Amino acid sequence: MPISDKKVGLVLGSGASRGWAHIGVIEALEANGIKISMIAGASAGSFIGAAYAGGGLQKVKSFALEMDWRRVLSFLDLAFPRSGFIEGKKVADLIKLYTNITNFEDLPIPLAMVATDMYNAEQVVFTKGSITEALRASMAVPGVLTPKQINHRWLVDGGVVNPLPVDVCRNMGADIIIAVDLNSERISRDVKSSRDAVWEHNSKQIENTRLEVVKTWVERYGSTGKSVSTRIDQWFSTSESSPHIFEVLGSSINIMQHKIELMNRIAHVPDVLIQPRLGDMKFFDFDDAERAIQEGYHRAEEAIPDILERLK
């Protein structure tokens, strides 16, 4: 039986690999009998929101816990760096595997996803049509994943304009809004990169993956592939002391999103704010899912008394 007749809206913020924490948050809410009436998400939050609303959350959790650095790389279909380093076709395939329902209209829990029109800076909210298409746009991190064209508009990651779409959820009719902010510690923690440790620990695995990627490009593109393979060698190199290009992009985007969130929360204040402490978790730490899920669960557990009080 539901605790209250009040409609609870769940806002799942953007945050790349830290998005796994959303799984733990949802599990904690469910364990305490809190029914989620609607979901609004951006980027990684859109993915987890779609998986939950479509009945595929446990499959996503199993997938996340089985992730290692090799599997992460297997979803990076490198593109010529015109619109982004990753083409995104494999990401789209991944989305299809873990969203059991094709269209928004068929979801048992109303869902909204946020993307950004890259030319006019407008927020684009998806609530109808193809879930896969909307997700691909909402997750298109600028410079990393190529933009997605929908209805003659080039769309990128929703976190560019609204990394924590509280206003979107409020407009859906929520009485109480629980928002999950994944960027609260991103620019306040001076912690050695966990990615450095992963690359050192898995250096042999990374080297094998590098060779596979280079071989594929040479076979596919001939002499052009040989030239590109030289660049790939540089991307995978662990000898440089300067930050990796994906780390530069990821860190810059995280800073931007954190600043935007702070400004947005002045105008659109959630009733309950959950902030998993994952400040040392980097953009591509998708293989660190267990820690992220547990942290999301623990932070949500701390918020349960406040949520229950508001539901009375």
Neighbours of 31 (CB within 10 A): 12
Residue with tokens 């924590």: 164
Known active-site residue 157: yes
**Is there a contact between 169 and 8 (Cβ–Cβ < 8 Å)?**
no
Q: Angle CA(141)–CA(146)–CA(147) in degrees, nearest 5?
A: 80
Pairing status of strand 176-180 against strand 148-150: unpaired
Neighbours of 72 (CB within 10 A): 16
Secondary structure (DSSP) of 138-151: HT--TEEE--EEET
Q: How far is CA 265 from CA 139, 257, 273, 299, 307, in A?
A: 22, 12, 10, 19, 19
Q: Which of 14, 17, 37, 43 is catalytic?
A: 43
Backbone angles phi, psi at 124, to 5 degrees: -115, 120
| Cα 232 to the center of its chain, rounded Å | 25
Q: Which of 117, 157, 181, 287 is catalytic?
A: 157
CA-closest candidate to residue 138, choices 40, 265, 55: 40
Classified as helix, coil or strand, 159 is helix
Pairing status of strand 8-12 against strand 123-126: unpaired
d(CA 312, CA 118): 43
Which positions are catalytic? Answer: 43, 157
